[in-house]
Structure 1
Amino acid sequence: MHDAAFLTTATRHGGGLMRAAAAYPDAPRPWLDLSTGINPEPWRGPRAPEAELNRLPDPAALVALETAAAAAFGSAPERTAAAAGAEAAIRLLPLLLGVRSVEIVGPTYGAHAEAWRAAAVATRLIAADQAAASQAGVLVIVNPNNPDGRLTRRADLIAMARERSAAGRWLVVDESFIECAPGDSVSDLIEPGLIVLRSFGKFYGLAGVRLGFMLAAPDMIQRLRDLLGDWPVGADAITMGRGAYAAAEWRSRTSAALDERAGRLDQRLTRAGFQIVGGTSLFRMTRTPHAARWFQHLCRGGILTRPFDHTPDALRFGVPTERDMRRLARALEAFS
């Protein structure tokens, strides 16, 4: 796969280091993956003991996980269901809600539109300033938005949730990156037409654990549990999720460290000629007229970033560790 072909495939979503390595076989190893918004310094609590890996997860342990997560979210256990990543819940929403139309505030994470279109639901992307007037059966808002970090304020979401609930319509708020803007979360809000999605892997840096949650009215939560079955997540997800969601001090310390590193990354990127146009403390969205050249240059240095087909002058950078920041700085300085 040559440079241009890989650039095209890389626009769908982040990750894909094996494809990157195949496209750039001479790039230095190991690759530095800055194409996603995953915390590079994960929570390092214990994994499941071997005995728990040797048997099916205990229902009581799943309840304990959902209770710990609900407490961290400001929700309640009966309104909180675990799934194998927020992605699993996204894919099941069309089956759960059974509506004829959905509007998605975009551009945003592509799995939302993919799920609804696969279910033959009329699907339309709309601008942020059109959201409050949406008459679709479901309105989807990713907050903070992926990939640009755009925020919809909590007060506006509350107003939309109440208005849509009163009209018998749904509001789905994907809060996969909300740890970067906790003040705008609506995870604690109780409205019959509100569904909130949460991700574990991004802020806690453990995307491979595959853990996420749906928050909704208890009857909707039960419907999701019926679809997922008795063992929606594995032993590692249960053990690590319980530990991480109880670690309030780690959460506070990590938030501060990510904010500081994101600020330093902005300085590096600005000096290299990038315009910072958005992001969160886990990723920074930039604009440059040379985005394709930058993407290929960085790949040749073993650094994977995120390009976009809908915005060809955009390039997104995950926020690296201090050590990896130095490697990125050298690659930025070598661009010509």
Structure 2
Amino acid sequence: MLEHGGNLRAASIRFNRPLADWLDLSTGLNPTWYPAPQLADNAWHRLPETDPELVRAASAFYGAPRMLAVAGTQAAIQALPQLRAPSRVVVAAPSYAEHAHHWSRHGHSMREVEYDALDAALPDCDVLVLCNPNNPTGATVAPERLLDWAAQLGRRGGWLVVDEAFGDTAPHLSVAAHSDSPGLIVLRSVGKFFGLAGVRMGFVGAHAPLLSQLADLLGPWTVSGPAQQVSTAALGDAAWQEAMRARLASEGTRLRTLLAANGIASSGTDLFQWWPEAQPEAFWQHMAERGIWVRLFPKAARGIRLGLPLDEEGWWRLALALEEWNRGSR
């Protein structure tokens, strides 16, 4: 199993610090989660057939013609490679590691290609997979370019898989509105912007035949009834969404400014920042010793990703730790 952010229990054991004493910045999730509504009395009793209202809410929020609810985008990431015969697959790199991991496990010829080389790689692949915005770097690709790639791949029976899990703060980048076209598959997540990773809710936008194949592979009752109720409320709450986008834009600027004040040139989204740290293990250790859990990338893309603190105490702790690192490492 690959390592991911949010593994706070492991941090607690390794550094002998109680869970409550940690500032967890390792996931890039919105620290101000959507307030879950009161559940219907039968939420825990009924078999969780998909509620049409959930699908309508998702299609409206993401602007997609049709969507399939799945147990987080992870479920789709694991399943999609099983729906194709062995293919030539390119996964943009660096990126969310689960994509490359699963495309390499089902007989496909998979290679990872840097974002600026994707155009050149397109003629020699059947499937192209990328995150937009990218996790962890925040790199983006213009929608017009993505749609051109999707059209080229679609004409020869290929796929463009666009993971927009972190796309809710940048809706202008989304190609979900075009996901009815053969060759384009769009993944969306309720976990990041809404801060509801625990409900395990995601959506896939694609043309109807592919969604039908994916639904058959995943089987019935993949998304719990409580998760459907909470997600339907979140996706339909336009006032909360508007206010939260404004808040995250402000806090994202605050994080970039704080890092820059400590000599760190970062990139990212309104939810997280990333930079190619020269001493990533040392930085990670420095932060962990102060009860701040950040995401370490120790391999090819050597760097650090961190998200937003929840409150002013968290901002103070982060600022102090960064100042101490800046004084000690430079």
| Shorter-normalised TM range | over 0.9
* 2:277 equivalent to 1:319: no
Per-residue deviation at 1:254? 0.7
In the alignment, the residues of structure 2 paired with residue 136 and residue 100 of structure 1 have an alpha-carbon distance, to the nearest angstrom, of 8
Call closer, same or farther: CA 1:48–1:118 in 2, change over 3 Å.
farther
In the alignment, the residues of structure 2 paired with residue 270 and residue 153 of structure 1 have an alpha-carbon distance, to the nearest angstrom, of 26
Match of 2:229 among 239, 253, 257: 239
Task: Describe how 1:136-151 pairs up with structure 2 within 5 A.
Answer: 136-151=125-140
In the alignment, the residues of structure 1 paired with residue 276 and residue 260 of structure 2 have an alpha-carbon distance, to the nearest angstrom, of 10
2:42 is paired with a residue of what secondary structure?
helix
Alignment-mate amino acid for residue 98 of structure 1: A
* 2:35 equivalent to 1:48: no
Residues 308-335 of structure 1 show CA distances to partners (whole Å, capped at 9, x for unaligned) of 1235752111022232212212222333
Partner of 1:162: 151
Q: Are the aligned partners of 2:133 and 2:139 in contact in 1 as well (CA < 8 Å)? A: yes
Partner of 1:101: 88
Call closer, same or farther: CA 1:46–1:296 in 2, change over 3 Å.
same
Residues 62-120 of structure 1 show CA distances to partners (whole Å, capped at 9, x for unaligned) of x21111101111112xx310000000000001112334221011110000011111212
2:283 is paired with a residue of what secondary structure?
helix
* 2:102 equivalent to 1:115: yes
Partner of 1:208: 198
Residues 193-234 of structure 1 show CA distances to partners (whole Å, capped at 9, x for unaligned) of 111111110110010110001110011111111122221200
- 5+ residue gaps, structure 2, are none
Match of 1:187 among 154, 176, 193: 176
Q: Are the aligned partners of 2:86 and 2:107 in contact in 1 as well (CA < 8 Å)? A: no
Q: Are the aligned partners of 1:274 and 1:287 in contact in 2 as well (CA < 8 Å)? A: no
- 5+ residue gaps, structure 1, are 1-8
**Segment drifting more, 139-148 vs 223-232:** 223-232
Q: Are the aligned partners of 2:281 and 2:298 in contact in 1 as well (CA < 8 Å)? A: no
Per the normalisation by structure 1, the TM-score is 0.91
1:252 is paired with a residue of what secondary structure?
helix
Q: Are the aligned partners of 2:126 and 2:158 in contact in 1 as well (CA < 8 Å)? A: yes
In the alignment, the residues of structure 2 paired with residue 28 and residue 195 of structure 1 have an alpha-carbon distance, to the nearest angstrom, of 38
In the alignment, the residues of structure 2 paired with residue 106 and residue 26 of structure 1 have an alpha-carbon distance, to the nearest angstrom, of 34
Per-residue deviation at 1:248? 1.4
Alignment-mate amino acid for residue 292 of structure 1: E
Percent same amino acid among aligned pairs?
38
In the alignment, the residues of structure 1 paired with residue 145 and residue 220 of structure 2 have an alpha-carbon distance, to the nearest angstrom, of 36
Q: Are the aligned partners of 2:54 and 2:228 in contact in 1 as well (CA < 8 Å)? A: yes
Task: Describe how 1:286-305 pairs up with structure 2 within 5 A.
Answer: 286-305=275-294
1:171 is paired with a residue of what secondary structure?
strand
